[in-house]
Structure 1
């Protein structure tokens, strides 16, 4: 690759003198309303986190202890659901619009049958199953409905949500309990267990294991720190002579994703061989996804698809420029951090004639 630019032709906007500062925004889990295709469900002794955006889901026997964490690919027919829940009949229910698909295995789409949702079961903010019934949460209205059958609304009834049960980011259930994830507080990311949404009976607060948090949307911002972009000066060139010179040399530039550094998030995961991963593996997909989230959730609101998500590599790039007598040029490279750690070295280079870092992100152009 050859870059040949005259510093005098750089746009004025790129010559800003402000220094980059680390983003101080608090990270948070992306709530269901802002994460299409993402949901949590459970049945009997197992819990599931569905990430349609990553085409996979996590299965665990204990979110609190991070036990038996398995990652499986999501069958295309089971992807992009509005809601996911599991029932004691060993079926998963995937809601899209005003219908739902029943399958016994989200990895294989086995035994698929589609039914229409009863009008009284439509338009819910959250869906879950527990105590042999289905529950539909209407968060804004502060109510929930329960029924034995979402197709017929058999034994349907509506009740008020207890005030402590209204602010869940996600709701899910197993045979004899309801759960809902609470917004992050001084104790971190937690979920609440109870037996009655109306009276908030049987309450218990549990924390998510870090290995589970890493898989949740926005989780890397909590375990590793918010993402932010920074320009790093990789080379300084100075003309000490009294005449104009043409400087042409090769410089070493690091490009790509710090796969070895980020693969640590997978250490407690048993990733199924059925997983068909894009370049960089699952850790790359999750990290790339983190950057797309807004700063409220520890992201940067950027798309990094055009970057190199393979293992980092060092390449030599030929740089050519004309330098006036006494002129100094600083060569900057853009990188993306999680917390204080650089995880993606971007391909963008910038030339400036002052030592202050650029302030314009290459992703904002």
Structure 2
């Protein structure tokens, strides 16, 4: 059997497909992965790391009565089918969830006198915007190397100072993108181990959700002016807590309709509810699935080759497939500085979303080694000798969000059944 000048020669018999390409012979069991002609490029997805000082707008507008009414002081009276084109993505009956700060250390939200911030230490960057409701002037900047790896990021809305908590210590910085933090100070023992940290009214609020209490202190190092109050049950379901203005705290929660809302603690036990802009919400871990729909992975049937005769049948075919990721299907309205590649940021957000567990709208899969370049079509000529009455199905794996395909994986599988393969050709995020 002669090698083809333009592609591969395949001989299929007894469930074994012999491939001869460029002088190399390899056996591939039907149903196993066949490599494509173009080698996978290495992942070049690291974010670039240098930014100028942020120029931010004002903080969230609006002011109401003090937030203390939602905190009850301890001891005080209580207050109130298969297609030859595509296997279908899953129906969108399942709800995705945003990952809470407790389950995503290094992700945090806060407000300073310069605007509103979301920190993604896992991606090495942060988002800032005039307020979380606005879709205008959304900027993403790089975290200074010395500001990465924090467990909590806390700020007072009337100040420019940001506190970074790591373990049982904390330090302060004025600019997350361009400054070294101050020397680390030890947290007072009473201030250690909080689930959330927030600041307003010149005080720090430390949330201990397991016991339904919050501790307010004037200083994290000394624990001065400590006052422990009971946390009302509506506030136990917060994903992120922060000071929203000089006298109010707020939190993010997902409501019954699976919308991410901000809840501003207001007078007489009431809350002021506001919506986060979708581009802001999508920056949070799990936010892409909340906005665009949960991730899915399906096998697409690229081609069916069959022999309806009682004799072996040689034939020539071409397998055409897409490889890469679709920039049209997914785009974000983030402004980035010159030192941050906006495309790498989008890729990092997508990779993070696909790696999350299904409860957060992910797939629990690592995709860094896939072809993260703009999607392009590849044609691959084949010469196949089919045995009598034999059918071969060629499949390609793809990932998407909602119902939109985004990442077309390089992996191919060959089966003799119209049932899609069950094997997932990507490594687990836990591996």
User: Normalized against structure 1, the TM-score is what?
Assistant: 0.89
Structure 2 equivalent of residue 93 of structure 1 = 163
Pair 1:13–1:2, CA change in 2 (3 A): closer
Residues 1:272 and 2:329 are matched in the alignment: no
Q: How does 1:334-353 map to 2 (within 5 A)?
A: 334-353=397-416
Structure 2 equivalent of residue 216 of structure 1 = 284
Structure 1 equivalent of residue 354 of structure 2 = 291
The counterpart of 1:117, out of the listed 187, 206, 231, is: 187
Q: How does 1:348-359 map to 2 (within 5 A)?
A: 348-359=411-422
Residues 1:72 and 2:135 are matched in the alignment: no
Gaps of 5+ in 2: 1-6, 17-28, 34-81
Q: How does 1:177-196 map to 2 (within 5 A)?
A: 177-186=248-257, 188-195=259-266
Residue 328 of structure 2 aligns to a residue whose secondary structure is helix
Pair 1:163–1:5, CA change in 2 (3 A): farther
Structure 1 equivalent of residue 274 of structure 2 = 206
Gaps of 5+ in 1: none
Pair 1:195–1:99, CA change in 2 (3 A): farther
Counterpart CA distance in 1 for 2:10 and 2:194 is: 57
For residue 317 of structure 1, report the CA deviation from its aligned partner. Answer: 2.9
Conservation of the 8 A alpha-carbon contact between 1:94 and 1:101: yes
Residue 352 of structure 2 aligns to a residue whose secondary structure is helix
For residue 208 of structure 1, report the CA deviation from its aligned partner. Answer: 0.9
Larger radius of gyration: 2
**Which has the larger displacement, 123-132 or 245-254?**
245-254
Conservation of the 8 A alpha-carbon contact between 2:98 and 2:287: yes
Counterpart CA distance in 1 for 2:122 and 2:397 is: 26
Counterpart CA distance in 1 for 2:417 and 2:231 is: 60
For residue 187 of structure 1, report the CA deviation from its aligned partner. Answer: 6.3
Counterpart CA distance in 2 for 1:29 and 1:292 is: 14
**Which has the larger displacement, 214-223 or 201-210?**
201-210
Pair 1:6–1:184, CA change in 2 (3 A): farther
User: Normalized against structure 2, the TM-score is what?
Assistant: 0.76
Pair 1:319–1:289, CA change in 2 (3 A): farther
**Which has the larger displacement, 214-223 or 107-116?**
107-116
CA displacement, residues 138-171 of structure 1 (integer Å, 9 cap, x when unaligned) = 0111111111110111212211111111111110
For residue 272 of structure 1, report the CA deviation from its aligned partner. Answer: 1.8
CA displacement, residues 161-220 of structure 1 (integer Å, 9 cap, x when unaligned) = 111111111101132220111133226110100158xxx646201111111112111111
How many aligned residue pairs are there?
355
Tell me how large the CA RMSD over aligned residues is: 2.6
Counterpart CA distance in 1 for 2:381 and 2:424 is: 23
Structure 2 equivalent of residue 59 of structure 1 = 128
**Which has the larger displacement, 171-180 or 17-26?**
17-26
